[in-house]
Structure 1
């Protein structure tokens, strides 16, 4: 048996294994085999590992002290593709990003400072910078607090996560196609309107009504609708090809399952969340469902929420064109998702007729669940 030190953490509405880079083999060619065994793939039940059978519970994060100026730590996220012997490093995970700051403080990579310390981070999936304000007490991360986020029981300390200059993370452009509104030709369906943008991760957004949905369906209902899932994957794959990540739909599904993500939205609408609570239309500005690696996410991935919030501010985008009365940017955009409401704060400016995204901030929480040694077979 081989053994590796790890910390199992929740970040936002995701969870996974945190590793210090120094505790892994220098030969990165060994990493995939290690991470897959840690999570128990390719068994979709992941009985022989720590995986949670859905994409949000199958994250790997490798962290190390940075030698870059004005950067404290760097990190790389691996998305385990459930049921396959595949680790996807193409995109960052916004939720697990929230765990990196506390982890860095707890592991001594960043010195704690009371009442809080700003952890300056560089994500190596996207080469983008993120600042996290981490509350501290008694020389370490202060986990206890009164902050609650949708999709997580109880309260914890508030983490302020600010994604700096997030546009063009994978494509180098806010609008990879050059358009705020695209018309995609979908095989077997026809043409559909979509907005494609690259904020922290590439994202394609369509109207719920255009795919025969109301926008308030819960994940189980969406996942059980084979026809809609197939259509959404074709939409995602078509956008994937349009952005140059794949040459056809088959390659998009096989080699780029996490990039881009696809989501559909509708206007403010009341529904019963996955926890049985009533989520009211007056609490939100938009209602969104996001597909993450072929399954509907139980909340809304943080990078996807960032993309939605920026799209809502882009004149002529599908969201801006469809909805009316969106709030002032200073008040944030309230997004309804299967687990509740989340508020995003996009920062946009216009310079010489070009839109610049200085940052997108969000409130998150994180928690160290377990630390110890994980064992793999070889």
Structure 2
């Protein structure tokens, strides 16, 4: 069997990992591209044994980079979420953790030139239209991965990658509150449907008879919870104007409970058919915005800061994540200006990844 070679970097970005490639090295049409990514990852098997996926939703993600035609941006970042056990690819969402590696990868690929001890890379997340500024450590004209920054969900320390997200409101649905309501009741459960960086259906853990402090493994073993959550998520997706979301990873799902480790609030984030082992960067922005918005399901669960920017500490299944939210409270309600986070990334491998030529012959 002959195979087609595709150049790639294999990187950890935040608490996710996957291949980073130049968009120009991949097929243009989405149908062929999806087949290539399925073969590359090895989707369709729980271990992704015939590909480079890691058998989990956080390790079957793909970043595709290109020089941007946008006058503001340096790089276009196109994201794909490949399923683990189903041969499916979702091009609708973006991923903030994988985005953590986009700045370093763009420099490594020669798409962006280092500009000093730190290099600022302006990134357009083409899936949603969000604009993100990444500050990458580049002493001596090369990306440095060594540093003292620590993020929960990843062992050890690494160089910080500072991210500032803008234009994240309504990226998928066109609205901050896609249903027009701060709270909707679906299947007897109150939820807030919000679209900030990622559309999420958010509920209180107690509404499902949960504490909110369960581990990811405990939640994934709770089939009764998923049997209630998934039909609710699908109905919410329709109410949010997203149509039939049964085969889509969006909207995601989130649970809230009072903090118990000194943070602002406790969260659990679902991808949506598995609990995230830590927290998605995009999800963190949406959940933080929910906390800061009066009248949502977060009301009464957290002490909400009055100052702006506000530091929101989300406790999650592996620790916590800090989100610095710049916002305004106007007569029209909560207005998000930007959200900042610090992540880390590391280059794990570089070379060529191979797919069967009957999937794509490289033309």
Normalising by the smaller structure, the TM-score range is over 0.9
Q: Pick the aligned partner of 2:245 from 246, 252, 255.
A: 252
Task: Tell me if 1:196 matches 2:193.
Answer: yes
Contact 1:55-1:293 at 8 Å conserved across structures: no
Shift of 1:329: 4.2
CA distance in 2 between counterparts of 1:330 and 1:306 reads 13
Aligned to 1:6: 8
Shift of 1:25: 2.8
Query: Residues 114-129 of structure 1: matches in 2 within 5 Å?
Result: 114-129=116-131
Aligned to 1:299: 278
Aligned to 2:174: 172
Per-residue CA deviations over 1:162-212 (Å, capped at 9, x if unaligned) read 11021101011111111112222x2xxxx1111111001101110111101
Aligned to 1:358: 337
Contact 2:13-2:345 at 8 Å conserved across structures: yes
Aligned to 2:325: 346
Shift of 1:352: 5.2
Shift of 1:333: 0.6
Query: Residues 322-337 of structure 1: matches in 2 within 5 Å?
Result: 322-327=300-305, 328-337=307-316
Aligned to 2:213: 216
Per-residue CA deviations over 1:231-269 (Å, capped at 9, x if unaligned) read 1112211211111222xxxx422x32x110001110012
Q: Pick the aligned partner of 1:266 from 251, 257, 260.
A: 257
Shift of 1:139: 1.1
Q: Pick the aligned partner of 1:48 from 28, 47, 50.
A: 50
Contact 2:129-2:167 at 8 Å conserved across structures: no
CA distance in 1 between counterparts of 2:162 and 2:26 reads 29
Aligned to 1:273: none
Gaps of 5+ in 1: 270-280
Contact 2:21-2:65 at 8 Å conserved across structures: yes
CA distance in 2 between counterparts of 1:50 and 1:348 reads 40
Shift of 1:22: 1.9
- Calculate the aligned-residue CA RMSD, in Å: 1.4
CA distance in 2 between counterparts of 1:21 and 1:330 reads 36
Contact 1:133-1:161 at 8 Å conserved across structures: yes
Q: Secondary structure at the match of 2:267?
A: strand
- Shift of the 243–301 alpha-carbon distance from structure 1 to 2, 3 Å rule, reads same
Matched length: 354
Q: Secondary structure at the match of 1:178?
A: coil
CA distance in 2 between counterparts of 1:202 and 1:358 reads 17
Gaps of 5+ in 2: 358-363
Contact 1:235-1:262 at 8 Å conserved across structures: no
Contact 1:290-1:296 at 8 Å conserved across structures: yes
CA distance in 2 between counterparts of 1:331 and 1:163 reads 15
